[in-house]
Structures are given as structure tokens and as C-alpha cells.
Structure 1
């Protein structure tokens, strides 16, 4: 079962991929990226020099040996990260 959130998170990357993130004051270590995709914004919402992409990663992450699946989103226009979805 998945839950939608849209919560702001702090993310540290390694080689352009999420390596760890803080959500609700807890640190999650990314063990594996299971999917990655990019969605371009509508052309009328972009700014010059920024294509306005939204980059998504589906990851397995957790604290210690307890892992879950999470969908993270990075918005290139604002530089903001969100936790979009989590699976039990």
C-alpha cells in the first residue's frame, strides 16, 4: 500500500543520485535506486536557461535493516526536493 505525501525533504546526492535524505527528522540511507525518470514542464512554465524538469527517483531506503520504498522528486526550477510517496 502506498501513501502520498509531497513533504519537503533534505537530500544528499552522490554522482547525481540520492544517497541519503532526512524526512520528518529521521535520516534514511538509500540502499538502491530502483527507477529514475524525468518529466519536462510545460514550455510556458519554463524560464530561460532552465528546462524546468522534474526528476524522480524510486529508491529503497531506511534506517538500519528496516527498508521501505520511497519516491523522491527534484524540481530543477526551484532546487527543491519532495518525498512524494512511500510504500509499506
Structure 2
């Protein structure tokens, strides 16, 4: 079962852009491994500014992270337009 959050998170990435750790609910979560990675493009015709250099990409990372003494599987989302990260989903 998964839960949807959409909570903003602070994420550190390595030189290739892979998340290495993040802070969620004031707790540091080291990323143990990346399980999946994909990029989705928003509908280009729905952009507010057609002249903007924004491709509307959202990058998703499904990762295994440490959560204290336990492990959690979660989905991090990077929004290229806003340059922000969200914790979008967590699996039990």
C-alpha cells in the first residue's frame, strides 16, 4: 500500500543528479539505492508562458532510504520549472 504526500523536501544530489539524501519532516533520510528513475513531460500546450525555456519536465526517482532503524521506499519528484523537490509517495 502507498500513501500520497506531495510534501516539499530538501534533497542533496551527486554530480550526476541522483538523490543521495533528503530531509522530510525534520529527519535526514540517506538514500540507500535508486530503484527506478523516469522523466515525464507536462502538456506543452498548457504552459502559461509559451516563450519560456521550460520544457515542463518532472523527474521521478523511486528510492530506498533509511528512516531511523527502518527502510522506506519513496518517490521523489523534481520539477524543472520550479527547481523544487517533493516527496510524492511512500510505500508501507
TM-score range, shorter chain: over 0.9
1:7-64 deviation per Cα after TM superposition (whole angstroms, max 9, x unaligned): 0000000121100000000000000000011100111216532211000000000135
Is 1:7 the counterpart of 2:7? The answer is yes
Report the CA distance shift for 1:5/1:49 in structure 2 as closer, same or farther (over 3 A): same
Count of paired positions: 88
The residue that corresponds to 1:70 in the other structure is: 74
User: 1:5-84 residue pairs with structure 2 within 5 A?
Assistant: 5-14=5-14, 15-44=16-45, 45=47, 48-84=52-88
Q: Structure 1 length as normaliser, TM-score?
A: 0.92
Query: Could you say what the CA RMSD is over the residues aligned between the two structures, in angstroms?
Result: 1.4
**Where has structure 1 moved over 6 Å in runs of 4 or more?**
none
Gaps (5+ residues) in structure 2?
none
Q: Per residue, is there more strand in 1 or in 2?
A: 1
Higher Rg of the two aligned structures: 2
Q: Structure 2 length as normaliser, TM-score?
A: 0.88
